[in-house]
Amino acid sequence: MILLTGFESWGKVPSNPTEELVEELSGDGVAGEVLPVSFRRAGERIEELIRELKPEAVLNLGLAPGSPVVRVERVAVNLMDARVADNDGFRPVDVPIDPQGPGCYFSTLPTREILEALRVRGIPAAISYSAGTFLCNFVMYRTLRILDLLGLRSPAGFIHVPYSTEIAARMDRPVPSLPMDLLREAVEVALGVISSASQS
């Protein structure tokens, strides 16, 4: 079972494509969960899910406003430094995610294989070395930290997706985007690579 997570909408974002992606791709060996845009609640829920499911792998998804490509993240840093508040009104600045944790975790997913598989399918993609310091980085770090503390060797990591063109069309300013069908295909490709790697 692969745990696939996305996020609900937040701030002035009209909707979050990862919410739709998770809902559509759940089933057939994929356990989907839409996380709250809340440091406290998302952290608690991720730990609950990992303890309950003990997944073979974890793929976290998030929205990268302004990105024109699918970003396969390599690094999560032990830092919460939010430019805006989460949906609970919490805005941490220069706060470690886990004071006892390492400074960073590297994705344990086959990131290079995922990147190449996406490009073979004609999907614009890139490796990224910064997941930011908001909820996306937090969830990636927290996922890897919990797996580490529990002694689980399940590969885990994060993929950022752009706005879908459907969402971008409803915004009051031009933003980079990709069609929803292409975003769905990108996640399906990533899940396929992860599944194959987990079984080998």
Q: Provide the residue ranges of all domains of the chain, joining segments of one domain with +.
A: 2-199
pTM: 0.95
CB atoms within 10 A of CB 100: 8
Structure confidence by residue, pLDDT tens digits, 115-164? 999 999 999 999 999 999 999 999 999 999 999 999 999 999 999 999 99
- For domain 2-199, give the CATH number: 3.40.630.20
- Please state, as a whole number, how many other Cβ atoms lie within 10 Å of the Cβ of residue 182: 19
Enumerate the active-site residues: 73, 136, 160
- Percent of the chain surpassing pLDDT 90: 88
Q: Are 156 and 109 in contact (CB under 8 A)?
A: yes
The tens-digit pLDDT sequence of the chain (200 residues) is: 999 999 998 767 778 999 999 999 999 899 999 999 999 999 999 999 999 999 999 999 999 988 999 999 999 999 999 999 999 999 999 999 999 999 999 999 999 999 999 999 999 999 999 999 999 999 999 999 999 999 999 999 999 999 999 888 888 888 899 999 999 999 999 999 999 887 76
